[in-house]
Structure 1
Amino acid sequence: MKNESQIFGIRAVIEAINSGKTIDKLFVQKGLQGDIAKELMALVKSNGIGFSHVPVEKLNRLTRKNHQGVVAQTSPIEFYNLENLVLKVIESGETPLFLILDQLSDVRNFGAIIRTAECTGVHGIIIQKKGGAPVSEDTVKTSAGAIFKIPICKVDHIKDAIFYLQASGVYVVAATEKAADPIYDINLTIPIAIVMGSEGKGISNSVLKLSDHLAKLPMYGDIASLNVSVACGVLLYETIRQRL
């Protein structure tokens, strides 16, 4: 059974996965038993779908229907293939501008970033399949509908996406307070992908090591950092300023 972006029932979720539907969140009742449940979990693991074991009370709050111990939330959009998107942008003759979100977790920040990215002509946003904010109805609302106008790619690993972008001639610029150079000293007129980190931990060390440039925003107040969506907006508009 399906209700908007929600699917409930073991067989219904199995069918959704087999049909290629993107599952953003999967909630499975603790202690769920049975052959069909085992079939579902084998399918979930083979497809690399993240899931959470939760008490039945959690599932009952999500839906009043007969969920059979399983509730899935699906994405309201279809995701793009990264390789195809990068090739399309390069062939268009435009200077590539991509945005990589490394484990960003807040849905409202995600939506706000999508909105700014669409306004600044970003060619695509790259997120990881596991660990990041889901593409939910709240994301759609916060983005003011921009999520339907900009390509979003889900990848297994951010590092692999970076390797592919670099091999395609796209330079990777990581926004971090650990940088020595301000963003204004970085050449943003070339093909680039800007990396933004999570709200709490920032960009992971492994991603920082792979990046071609590290850049920071000057800070003069007592508070050490900006909201990630605000910082992203500043970086994207500095890119536009340099490219005008």
Structure 2
Amino acid sequence: MEKETTIYGIRSIIEAISSEKTIDKVFIQKGLRGELFQELEKLLRQEGINNSYVPIEKLNRLARGRNHQGAVAHISPVEFHSLDDIVLDSFEQGKPPLFLILDQLSDVRNFGAIVRTAECTGVSAIIIQKKGGAPINGDTIKTSAGAIFKMPICKVDHIKDAVFYMQSSGIKVIAATEKAERLIFDISFNEPCAIIMGSEGKGINPSVLKLVDEQAKLPILGDIASLNVSVACGAFLYEATRQRI
């Protein structure tokens, strides 16, 4: 899997982007200079591709002895879908759509586990942000048990974009947050809706929380204040499933 989804070298990455390969993330050596580097930087900005500047030691680890020339890129093993098309198609299925929005989830195994549960519960699509989220790699594929190839995934510039689009399309947006006053069991999931799950460390961005239609939390009876995000997501999705069947 790694040989098929990793590219080494600036020129190779430029060629891959120009060939419309779906690039998940590009790692660039800090302090890199030169015309070819500037061409890559410009292309990354134009295409909105997730990238980060890292020490050469990290690139060496990623390249595992290969000549990376200051840049390594991961090609996504899946194609991403247009949010417009997915929303339109979901309403044509004859049942209320259920979407899942992940606000910069960072752990690939959590991401994979969530994709697996989402596929099992009939989620219409998962929406993620172009930058700042977990990459789709071999660990994601393995943890999802292959569900990543069955679940439509859409990328947006900002999570707020997805919230606004959902609301303008008649889809209720529900935030899963321990800050909510209402329990999950008091929320209706029978209409078209989208559930937002936050990142492992910070939860849902406060600016996003201000935009949602509903906030809901899970009851916590023990001393630990929160659940693992993939576990919490599973509880939300299965409550939605319970209500719908």
How high is the TM-score relative to the length of structure 2? 0.95
1:210 aligns to what SS in structure 2?
coil
Residue identity in the other structure for 1:35: E
Report the alpha carbon displacement of residue 20 of structure 1 after superposing the two structures with TM: 2.0
1:59-89 per-position Cα deviation (integer Å, ceiling 9, x unaligned): 2222222222111111110001000000001
Alignment-derived partner of residue 126 in structure 1: 127
1:199 aligns to what SS in structure 2?
coil
Matched, 1:13 2:13: yes
**Identity over aligned pairs, percent:** 67
Measured in 2, the distance between the counterparts of 1:98 and 1:50 equals: 23
Alignment-derived partner of residue 166 in structure 1: 167
Report the RMSD for the aligned CA atoms in angstroms: 1.3
Which residues in structure 2 correspond to 1:227-242 (within 5 Å)? 227-242=228-243
Measured in 1, the distance between the counterparts of 2:223 and 2:126 equals: 31
1:135 aligns to what SS in structure 2?
coil
Alignment-derived partner of residue 224 in structure 2: 223
Residue identity in the other structure for 1:34: G
Residue identity in the other structure for 2:30: K
Alignment-derived partner of residue 28 in structure 1: 28
Report the alpha carbon displacement of residue 32 of structure 1 after superposing the two structures with TM: 2.0
Which residues in structure 2 correspond to 1:59-98 (within 5 Å)? 59-63=59-63, 64-98=65-99
Deviates more, 1:99-108 or 1:23-32: 23-32
1:18-65 per-position Cα deviation (integer Å, ceiling 9, x unaligned): 222222221112222222121111111222223222233322222222
Report the alpha carbon displacement of residue 227 of structure 1 after superposing the two structures with TM: 0.7
Measured in 1, the distance between the counterparts of 2:57 and 2:238 equals: 46
Alignment-derived partner of residue 43 in structure 2: 43
Measured in 2, the distance between the counterparts of 1:217 and 1:174 equals: 11
Residue identity in the other structure for 2:95: E
Structure 1: segments with no counterpart, 5+ residues = none
Residue identity in the other structure for 2:215: L
Alignment-derived partner of residue 4 in structure 2: 4
1:214 aligns to what SS in structure 2?
strand
Measured in 1, the distance between the counterparts of 2:30 and 2:179 equals: 42
Report the alpha carbon displacement of residue 216 of structure 1 after superposing the two structures with TM: 0.7
Deviates more, 1:116-125 or 1:4-13: 4-13
2:201 aligns to what SS in structure 1?
coil
Residue identity in the other structure for 1:104: L
Measured in 2, the distance between the counterparts of 1:62 and 1:178 equals: 39
Measured in 1, the distance between the counterparts of 2:57 and 2:188 equals: 53
Residue identity in the other structure for 1:116: T
Report the alpha carbon displacement of residue 139 of structure 1 after superposing the two structures with TM: 0.5
Report the alpha carbon displacement of residue 100 of structure 1 after superposing the two structures with TM: 0.4
Measured in 2, the distance between the counterparts of 1:177 and 1:26 equals: 34
1:174 aligns to what SS in structure 2?
strand
Which residues in structure 2 correspond to 1:140-159 (within 5 Å)? 140-159=141-160
Residue identity in the other structure for 2:138: E
Measured in 2, the distance between the counterparts of 1:7 and 1:106 equals: 22
